[in-house]
Amino acid sequence: GQNIDQPTEMTATEGAIVQINCTYQTSGFNGLFWYQQHAGEAPTFLSYNVLDGLEEKGRFSSFLSRSKGYSYLLLKELQMKDSASYLCAVMDSNYQLIWGAGTKLIIKP
Amino acid sequence: DVKVTQSSRYLVKRTGEKVFLECVQDMDHENMFWYRQDPGLGLRLIYFSYDVKMKEKGDIPEGYSVSREKKERFSLILESASTNQTSMYLCASSLAGGPGNEQFFGPGTRLTVL
């Protein structure tokens, strides 16, 4: 079966760095997405990785290792507004997105 | 500003009622999707459409149907609502032509079936 695993909840301190991991087992791979979802709101796109390596976008970076079936989202200089759920999703061989359950990130002052 | 809109933010219906959830996008996207989101589970795909009049079943189509008569509008229909269809329903759209095209989501409809 297809499976995406990510931690249910993480806590971090304002100004710090946090890494949210995602491991996946899917039938085929056509890229991995990270989305941010604030409580009660729609998910919004953060990043897309299809090749191995690190993609940096401001305070957010996303890493992919296809051989390990592993990705992480790195958030630097955490701000209170980063409190949200972070969703990992993999596009499979049928070009369908398989979604993880999301990681709820709590930022403390 | 690109937009996906959904007809209602909150909806309460009774068991057995027919329910229509509407989604409209203004980005001229070819692809449109309906998901449901439940606590502790990832988004689950109900139906999707890559073109007008076209529809494909997702992972959990049972109890649902869809309609896409115009490119910008994708409707989800619950033929006879049941309590296990209480959920958050999210509509999304994306451009055709590449796996890396992000999906844009609407604000969601929180449906409660009593």
pLDDT in tens, A46-56: 999 999 999 99
- Give contacts of B90 with chain A, Cβ < 8 Å: 42-43
Nearest CA to A96 among B54, B31, B109? B31
Our separate counts of H helices and E strands in chain A read 0, 11
Nearest residue in chain B measured CA to CA from A8: B40
B100 contacts: CB under 8 Å, gap ≥ 6: A31, A48, A50
Q: Is the pLDDT assigned to residue B7 strictly greater than 80?
A: yes
Q: What single letter denotes the amino acid at residue A51?
A: L
Average pLDDT over residues A51-69: 96
Substitution target in B38, B43, B46, B105 with the highest count of A β-carbons within 10 Å is B43
The torsion region of residue B63 among left (phi > 0), alpha (psi -120 to 50) and beta comes to left
B69 burial (CB, 10 Å; 0-12 / 13-18 / 19+) is: exposed
Cβ distance of B100 and A45 shorter than 8 Å: no
**Helix (H, G, I), strand (E, B), or coil: what is residue A66?**
coil
CA B56 to chain centre: 12
| Spatial separation of the C-alpha atoms in residues A40 and B35, rounded to whole Å | 15
The torsion region of residue A62 among left (phi > 0), alpha (psi -120 to 50) and beta comes to beta
For residue A72, name the pLDDT band (cuts at 50, 70, 90). Answer: very high
Cβ distance of B43 and A89 shorter than 8 Å: yes
Cβ distance of B90 and A33 shorter than 8 Å: no
For residue A1, name the pLDDT band (cuts at 50, 70, 90). Answer: confident
Which residue carries 């949210």 as its tokens? A20
Which residue carries 């590449």 as its tokens? B98
CA distances, A47 to each of A15, A44, A57, B1, B63 (Å): 21, 10, 8, 19, 33
- Give contacts of A48 with chain B, Cβ < 8 Å: 100, 102
Substitution target in B33, B44, B102 with the highest count of A β-carbons within 10 Å is B102
pLDDT tens-place string over residues A5-25? 999 999 999 999 999 999 999
Nearest residue in chain B measured CA to CA from A91: B99
- Give contacts of B89 with chain A, Cβ < 8 Å: none
Query: How close is the nearest chain B Cα to the Cα of A101, in Å?
Result: 4
For residue A95, name the pLDDT band (cuts at 50, 70, 90). Answer: confident
| Spatial separation of the C-alpha atoms in residues A90 and B99, rounded to whole Å | 10
